[in-house]
């Protein structure tokens, strides 16, 4: 399985786009690395770059970017709001897929050694890459910043992990490490006061502030765990901000940080006007935020992923300072392969035209999945309508829960629309393989069998998802808004069609697969799903008839 890491180097240049482009050009020269995001900040005079790829490729790309940054950025002339100590200020590696934190830390150490030895830049390790826990905190390492490091680097306890113990006036030093996913997040205030912004930052950050009690200085922790924060004034925007690093968004999600800052700001007579994301954010962080703000309004959370993201953007004012394009800011969207959603991204007309064309795909399997998605979408609609029905205010959470279940089935079935066509194309590609030699024939047969199994399993998944979605459909016939009972009834018809259609695909593809034990087992399960679907559809339609007739 492919190992993937993310790297988010921060370069101390946010104004000269030509310099930034020359640095990112070095990254793009390396095969197997994707440049996901380039986020320059004028007031901070800092650019945050996000790349992803296999570890060796990422490390190679970042090495050359660090080299180029050292050539182009002169730290003797650098001014900016953000703490910094070098041309490449900090460079974290983050495990993304099929790689442990320990392995990621080892890659960070390899990069740090190479930068120190080949580029002669002082390098400090941090977080998981730093074995010495007394110097693994970034803010502690960077304390004193660029101006203070000429003296600090001479202190025995601050000898660099790699590279010379001599501070480079032009390039400065750098910090390289491995850490969990971090969200850099700024919250905008209706004040220009850095002092007041800092007071709010100290209120919420985990480190809190030092206070004097009975003549002794003691630490008073802030209210948010796994949060680092400072206040600053951003001349570019004309407002002060709370600049936050959310180091564990499972502990303190973005929406919780936003709301807590709102509370603390209000207590100090200041209003939060919006917020700003620096770099990328995981999809779940955005959908969780959307659900959180809908729940505060006592509205159903069983809405589409797109709608949840829209609610999150508007609720936190992520578009106050500039456009917020989810396709460019959510990491899963940046990593997604457009081919995986080719069909479901089409308009209804284009999808119908594609189905009607002379191409054999999309065929009955994809259409079955789509019909199933429409069926459970109708039930989800009934759940959402019911959650907002006048006089049913005390039941909104019940229907919200049903709507969320429906959304999950809808998302699964939509994913299977393209998956079924991909499975069919896989069979066609396998049959097109060469068969001139015995080895080629054997490889071709193996490929055909593997593709055929996939073409059996995908429609079977459609059957399972469509049948299971009937739980939501039945519940909405029984419990939902009576004015929409026929919508749920049509959903049952769609679910039955999806199951029956997908079973046809299981059967026809099973005829070409050689593993009879597998075929017997999946055919038994599929026939059982079909029979239960027919019975459940009849039960649901009987309930619909009874509701119509009163």
CB environment 5-15: b (16+ within 10 A), e (fewer):
bbbbbbbbbbb
Number of helices (H) and strands (E), helices first, in the chain?
17, 13
CA pair distance 139, 219, nearest whole angstrom = 17
H or E, element range at 231: strand 227-234
Task: Write down how long the chain is.
Answer: 550
- Residue spans of beta strands (DSSP E) within 68-112: 88-97
What residues are annotated to the active site?
A: 82, 420
**445 contacts: CB under 8 Å, gap ≥ 6:** none
Domain boundaries, the chain: 4-178, 183-335, 338-549
Q: Token pair for residue 514?
A: 């050689």
Whether 163 and 115 have beta carbons less than 8 Å apart is answered as yes
Do 183-335 and 338-549 agree at the fold level?
no
Query: Which CATH superfamily hosts domain 183-335?
Result: Formiminotransferase, C-terminal subdomain (3.30.70.670)
Q: Which CATH architecture has domain 4-178?
A: 2-Layer Sandwich (3.30)
CA pair distance 287, 305, nearest whole angstrom = 7
H or E, element range at 549: helix 516-549
**100 contacts: CB under 8 Å, gap ≥ 6:** none
Whether 486 and 548 have beta carbons less than 8 Å apart is answered as yes
Q: Token pair for residue 463?
A: 């059957």
Please tell me whether the overall predicted TM-score, pTM, comes out greater than 0.85 for this model. no
Pairing of strands 33-41, 4-7: unpaired
- What are the pLDDT tens digits along the chain (550 aa)? 688 999 999 999 999 999 999 999 999 999 989 999 999 988 889 999 999 999 999 999 999 999 999 999 999 999 988 889 999 999 999 998 889 999 999 999 999 999 999 999 999 999 999 999 889 899 899 999 999 999 999 999 999 999 999 999 999 999 999 998 889 999 999 999 999 999 999 999 999 998 888 888 899 999 999 999 999 999 889 999 999 999 989 899 999 999 999 999 999 999 999 999 998 898 999 999 999 999 999 999 999 999 999 999 999 999 999 999 999 999 888 888 888 899 999 999 999 999 999 989 899 999 999 999 999 999 999 999 999 999 998 999 999 999 999 999 999 999 999 999 999 999 999 999 999 999 999 999 999 999 999 999 999 999 999 999 999 999 999 999 999 999 999 999 999 999 999 999 999 999 999 999 999 999 999 999 999 999 999 999 999 999 998 7
CA pair distance 249, 333, nearest whole angstrom = 19
Q: Token pair for residue 414?
A: 């939509």
CA pair distance 296, 394, nearest whole angstrom = 14
Task: Name the CATH code of domain 338-549 (choices 3.40.1160.10, 1.10.150.20, 2.60.40.1120, 1.20.120.680).
Answer: 1.20.120.680
Whether 275 and 188 have beta carbons less than 8 Å apart is answered as yes
């Amino acid at each position: 399985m492919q190992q993937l890491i993310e790297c988010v180097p921060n370069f101390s240049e946010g104004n000269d786009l030509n310099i930034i482009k020359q640095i990112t050009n070095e990254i793009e020269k390396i095969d197997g690395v994707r440049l996901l995001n380039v986020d320059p900040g004028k007031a901070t005079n800092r650019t945050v770059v996000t790349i992803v790829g296999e570890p060796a490729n990422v490390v190679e790309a970042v090495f050359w970017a660090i080299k180029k940054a050292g050539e182009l950025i002169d730290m003797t002339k650098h001014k900016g709001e953000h703490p910094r100590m070098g041309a490449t200020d900090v460079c974290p590696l983050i495990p993304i897929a099929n790689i442990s934190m320990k392995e990621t830390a080892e890659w960070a150490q390899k990069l740090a050694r190479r930068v120190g030895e080949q580029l002669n830049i002082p390098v400090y390790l941090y977080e998981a890459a730093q074995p010495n826990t007394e110097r693994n905190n970034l803010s502690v390492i960077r304390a004193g910043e660029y101006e203070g490091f000429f003296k600090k680097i001479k202190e025995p306890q601050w000898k660099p992990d790699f590279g010379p113990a001599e501070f480079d006036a032009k390039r400065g030093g750098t910090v390289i490490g491995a850490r969990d996913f971090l969200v850099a997040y700024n919250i905008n205030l209706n004040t220009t006061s850095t002092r007041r912004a800092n007071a709010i930052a100290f209120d919420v950050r985990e480190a809190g502030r030092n206070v004097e009690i009975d003549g002794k200085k003691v630490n008073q922790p802030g209210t948010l765990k796994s949060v680092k924060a400072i206040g600053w004034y951003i001349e570019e925007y004309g407002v002060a901000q709370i600049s936050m690093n959310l180091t564990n968004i499972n502990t303190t999600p973005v929406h919780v940080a936003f709301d807590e800052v709102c509370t603390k700001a209000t207590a100090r007579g200041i209003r939060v006007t919006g917020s700003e994301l620096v770099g990328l954010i995981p999809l779940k962080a955005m959908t969780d935020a959307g659900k959180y703000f809908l729940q505060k309004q006592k509205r159903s959370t069983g809405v589409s992923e797109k709608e949840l993201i829209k609610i999150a953007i508007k609720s936190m004012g992520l578009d106050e300072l500039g456009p917020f394009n989810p396709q460019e800011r959510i990491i899963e969207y940046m990593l997604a392969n457009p081919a995986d959603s080719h069909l479901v991204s089409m308009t209804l007309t284009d999808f119908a035209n594609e189905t009607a064309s002379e191409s054999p795909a999309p065929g009955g399997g994809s259409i079955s999945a789509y019909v199933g998605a429409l069926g459970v979408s109708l039930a989800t609609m009934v759940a959402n309508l019911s959650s907002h029905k006048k006089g049913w205010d005390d039941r909104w959470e019940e229907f919200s829960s049903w709507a969320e279940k429906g959304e999950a089935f809808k998302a699964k079935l939509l994913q299977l629309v393209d998956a079924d066509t991909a499975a069919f194309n896989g069979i066609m590609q396998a049959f097109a393989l060469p068969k001139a030699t015995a080895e080629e024939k054997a490889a071709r047969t193996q490929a055909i069998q593997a593709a055929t199994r996939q073409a059996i399993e995908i429609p079977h998944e459609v059957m399972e998802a469509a049948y299971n979605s009937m739980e939501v459909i039945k519940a909405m016939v029984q419990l939902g808004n009576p004015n929409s009972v026929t919508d749920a009834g049509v959903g049952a018809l769609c679910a039955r069609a999806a199951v029956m259609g997908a079973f046809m695909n299981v059967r026809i593809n099973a005829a070409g697969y050689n593993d009879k034990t597998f075929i017997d087992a999946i055919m038994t399960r599929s026939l059982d799903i079909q029979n239960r679907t027919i019975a459940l559809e009849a039960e649901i339609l009987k309930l619909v008839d009874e509701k119509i007739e009163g």
